[in-house]
Structure 1
Amino acid sequence: MNRFKAAYLAIVVSMFLVVFKVFVGTATNSISIISDALHSSMDVIASTITLVAMKLAKKPEDKCHNYGHGKYEDLAAVIQSVLILIISVTIISQATLRIVNGNLITETFPGIIVMLVSITLHSMTVFIMLKYAKKENSVALKANALHLLADVITSIGVIVGLVVIQFTGLRIIDPIVAIIVALIIIKTGYDIGKESIEQLLDKSLSSEEMSIIKEILEEHSPPVLDYHYLRTRRIGQTRQVDVHLIFPNDYSLTDAHDVSSSIEKDIHQRITSVRITIHLEPENHYHPYRVEVE
């Protein structure tokens, strides 16, 4: 299996759960189950968007996109966060109306069953998606997996509510649980959107990756006298690293190129999917200050 098959799996599982939850939620008049079904319907849309984005991101560089199309994955993750916000507001609105109108749940046992099925299927799907998101550095697939993980958490919340209703008879707990579920979903959407927007705005690589890069640069000193204008960012699955290296005035261009190639090789060995651009400068052209974008 690869990340594309993992995305297809998420779509199939979510479609099945939408039908299952709508049927049981309607039969039992449970707003918490129906709200979870609405969330699952968004999962179908989100997973489809993820799949399309991954296919677009895989397109090679072209005349108009010199760095490739990797940011389609970040864009897909942002769209997912917006969808999450929309469905959360809808859930809160519907749950509030149920409380006001007194239109509450009638049966709990079928809902407990459907939530257990949902948790089981989504947990397996999330595990598979996170595995391949990490393996293939897919931002969109990771966002989609976290979206489904929110489903697991909210389904657990719905079960807890249904069990409490089963033993206490307090049917108003159902819409209250739905509102709590929506608030949890909003937090998940915020986290997904924040990370994705940062990637779209070319946030630098993680502090761990930056430390690795700096460590490798310092390991090649001498002959590298210093470095400056170190810049990094992520473009989909690819990490971009740019840096200016300072060499002695009498150091040959051939030798400087060999050192640069060695630095590139060392970075490639410790950081996956990285593209490196190195600018060579002689010592007498170097201004005595360091400019780093981190």
Structure 2
Amino acid sequence: MSITRTKNRLALLSLAVSVGLVAIKFYAYHLTGSQAVLTDALESIINVFTSGFALYSIYLSGLPKDENHPYGHGKIEYLSIGFEGALILFAGVYIFYSAIIAFLHPHAVGQLDSGMILLGLTALINLAVGFVLVRSGKRLNSVALVGDGQHLYLDALSTVASCVALVLVLVTGNVLFDAGASLVLGAFIVVNGFRMVRRSVSGLMDESDVATVEQVIAELQRQRRPAWIDVHNLRVLRYGANLHIDCHMQMPYYFSLEETHNELNAIEGLIKNRFDVEVEMFVHADPCTFAACSLCQLPDCPVRQHAFNHEVPWTVANAVKNERHRLPPG
């Protein structure tokens, strides 16, 4: 089964589960009249919309590149988690408002045992499906699936809190525990919604993925050849699951066009083999200068002006800068 088909099936599973759980939770609210259960049910409605949008975004992200989208359609997944986060924020604010009203005007809660059984069932289902989505999303490099799975985790946590509130009401007879749980859940949901929106903006604005940059640099360092004098201006962008990487590599200025081409192909090949996703890599070759002789390890260089001093290890600190490497004076 292809990666795209696997993603689509997982997203469809999430949507189907979300629709079923919303029905169960609203039935639990019908039985109990609990503000905390209503909070949980309202938050679950968001699951339906976000799962549907995640399914659509995953479908779009799997489409091939075209003239209008030369880097593919992968960024739609960041829009998906932004949409999800915005809806969660909206729901959290409304839940917070409703909880305050419930504090001011408390009402009786009934059939607590039936409500807790139904909520407990939905929590277990959400945890199981959320675990599958997060694990599969990380394996398939799908931020939409991971975001959807984390939302299900959040939904399960909300359900557990609602159950705790019902237990406290059952034991103490104080219905304010119900409104209090809803208030806490509203604040928690707002914070998590903000985090999802923040992650979406980071992806859409091409914020650097430091972990992936470190992997690329580490692989270049491990496979380093004498002709690769230094790498700089290295950038890594994510388009959904796929990567776009570009950098400058300083090489001997007297290399023929064919020799330089072969070296660049070797660099691109080893990076593409390092990742199990589609990688588009462009390497710009810079001709060396005599200032680079002291850090160049190429043996029998016919134009060397200075003896080799020592290697400069490639790190995030020096490889991402748009400047050639030099040894400090003295």
What TM-score does the superposition give when structure 2 sets the normalisation length? 0.83
- The whole-number CA distance in structure 2 between the counterparts of 1:285 and 1:111 is 78
Alpha-carbon shift at residue 256 of structure 1 (Å): 2.0
- The whole-number CA distance in structure 2 between the counterparts of 1:16 and 1:133 is 22
Q: 1:92 aligns with which of 73, 96, 111?
A: 96
Is 1:278 aligned to 2:306, yes or no? no
> Contact 2:31/2:115 (CA < 8 Å) preserved in 1?
no
AA at the equivalent of 2:286 = E
Is 1:72 aligned to 2:100, yes or no? no
- The whole-number CA distance in structure 1 between the counterparts of 2:27 and 2:290 is 72
Aligned to 1:204: 208
User: Residue 293 and residue 107 in structure 1: after superposition, are their counterparts in 2 closer, same or farther (change >3 A)?
Assistant: farther
- The whole-number CA distance in structure 2 between the counterparts of 1:276 and 1:64 is 20
Is 1:256 aligned to 2:269, yes or no? no
Aligned to 2:237: 233
Alpha-carbon shift at residue 284 of structure 1 (Å): 4.3
Is 1:184 aligned to 2:212, yes or no? no
- Farther-moved stretch of structure 1 (105-114 vs 175-184): 105-114
Aligned to 2:129: 125
Find runs of 4+ consecutive structure 1 residues off by over 4 angstroms. 284-287
- Farther-moved stretch of structure 1 (34-43 vs 94-103): 94-103
Aligned to 2:58: 54
Q: Deviations over 1:14-63 (max 9, x none)?
A: 11111111122122110111111111111000000000111111121111
Which structure has the highest helix share of the two?
A: 1
Alpha-carbon shift at residue 206 of structure 1 (Å): 2.6
Aligned to 1:43: 47
User: Residue 293 and residue 226 in structure 1: after superposition, are their counterparts in 2 closer, same or farther (change >3 A)?
Assistant: closer
Alpha-carbon shift at residue 291 of structure 1 (Å): 7.5
Aligned to 1:292: 320
User: Residue 22 and residue 109 in structure 1: after superposition, are their counterparts in 2 closer, same or farther (change >3 A)?
Assistant: same
AA at the equivalent of 1:161 = A
Aligned to 2:300: none
SS at match of 1:272: coil
> Contact 1:217/1:263 (CA < 8 Å) preserved in 2?
yes
Number of residue pairs the alignment of both structures matches: 292
Q: Deviations over 1:187-244 (max 9, x none)?
A: 221222212210100012233x222222333332410111221111111111111001
- The whole-number CA distance in structure 1 between the counterparts of 2:140 and 2:151 is 18
Aligned to 2:216: 213
AA at the equivalent of 1:157 = A
- The whole-number CA distance in structure 2 between the counterparts of 1:104 and 1:172 is 10
AA at the equivalent of 1:47 = S
User: Residue 181 and residue 286 in structure 1: after superposition, are their counterparts in 2 closer, same or farther (change >3 A)?
Assistant: farther
- The whole-number CA distance in structure 2 between the counterparts of 1:91 and 1:257 is 60
Aligned residue runs from structure 1 range 119-198, under 5 A: 119-198=123-202
User: Residue 60 and residue 31 in structure 1: after superposition, are their counterparts in 2 closer, same or farther (change >3 A)?
Assistant: same
AA at the equivalent of 2:280 = R
- Where do 5+ consecutive residues of structure 1 fail to align? none
User: Residue 286 and residue 58 in structure 1: after superposition, are their counterparts in 2 closer, same or farther (change >3 A)?
Assistant: farther
SS at match of 2:26: helix
- The whole-number CA distance in structure 1 between the counterparts of 2:183 and 2:263 is 59
Q: What is the root-mean-square deviation of aligned Cα atoms in Å?
A: 2.1
- Where do 5+ consecutive residues of structure 2 fail to align? 293-317, 323-330
- The whole-number CA distance in structure 2 between the counterparts of 1:215 and 1:92 is 47
Q: Deviations over 1:60-115 (max 9, x none)?
A: 11112111111111001101000000111111111211221222423321221111
| Identical counterparts, % of pairs | 27
